[in-house]
Chain A
Amino acid sequence: MAKKKSSKGELTNNIRRLRFDHDEMSQKALAEKVGVSRQTIVAIEAAKYSPSLELAFQIAHAFETPIEDVFGYIPPPDE
């Protein structure tokens, strides 16, 4: 599971696992399905870029799964 840490919490995603579960869907195939470049999928998967809400829903739709199965959020620990 890829994680993106920030002071606002941690964003996680399961795109790599979901691609594997969907007949090893390639990053390019996913990119074409949701209408972005392969590099954007690479960046999202590596948690180097947080997609817009619209793109996040499109990715979830491409995997035919609810958005919470694709993306997760871990809030920062209370100080």
Chain B
Amino acid sequence: MSYQERNIVTYLITGIVVMAVYSFHMYGQFEAGLLNGADAGIQIGWSAIKLIGGSIIVTIIVSILVSIVNAIITQETEFDAADERDKLIDLIGMKVGFITFSIFFVGGMIWLALGAPMQFILLGFIYAMFISSLIEGSTRLVLYRRGF
């Protein structure tokens, strides 16, 4: 597995773990009735800020740990700089992720127009971002493995 592929797998696993913790946290808030009151927007806003901060910190820590473990196992300490193929794969992945999020965004707007509660739309967008990033990472991984 190449350096870039390893980064994508790390990113995907970290994302899934962080979102699982976030879902558990939000379910607790939902059970407590905090997502139905007048302050639901504030709760979701703070949870999103914590999610972003937490994701960054966890990703950095996991990346460092994976690099250390990989260096110990493979004895390789050099990191491949991104070349033209990596950049092209990144671009295709971003395009697929953007299209996915756009579909969710339009769906969310339609749902909102049909009278869905605002807090569910906000939460839906957070999950749409997560699913889009999963699809982006998976697309990049497939392109690395299968070629294009």
Contacts and interface: CB of A to CB of B under 8 A. Distances in A.
A35 interface: yes
A37 B82 CA distance: 8
Residue with the highest number of chain B CB atoms closer than 10 Å, among A39, A43, A46: A39
B2 A48 contact: no
Interface stretch (B9-17, B37-45, B83-91): B83-91
Given A37-B2, A37-B3, A49 B147 contact: yes
A52 B4 CA distance: 20
Could you say which interface size class chain A belongs to? 10 to 19
A35 B2 CA distance: 16
A43 B80 CA distance: 15
A49 B2 CA distance: 16
A65 B81 CA distance: 27
B84 A52 contact: yes
Contacts of A49: 85, 147-148
- A interface, by DSSP: helix, strand, loop or mixed? loop
A39 B80 contact: yes
A32 to B, nearest CB: 10
A76 to B, nearest CB: 19
B21 to A, nearest CB: 33
29 contacts: A35-B83, A36-B83, A36-B85, A37-B2, A37-B3, A37-B4, A37-B80, A37-B81, A37-B83, A37-B85, A37-B86, A38-B80, A39-B4, A39-B80, A39-B85, A39-B144, A40-B84, A40-B85, A40-B86, A46-B147, A47-B147, A48-B146, A48-B147, A48-B148, A49-B85, A49-B147, A51-B85, A52-B84, A55-B84
Given A38-B2, A40-B84, A48-B146, 16 more contacts: A36-B84, A36-B85, A37-B2, A37-B3, A37-B80, A37-B81, A39-B4, A39-B144, A40-B83, A40-B85, A43-B85, A47-B147, A48-B148, A49-B147, A51-B85, A52-B84
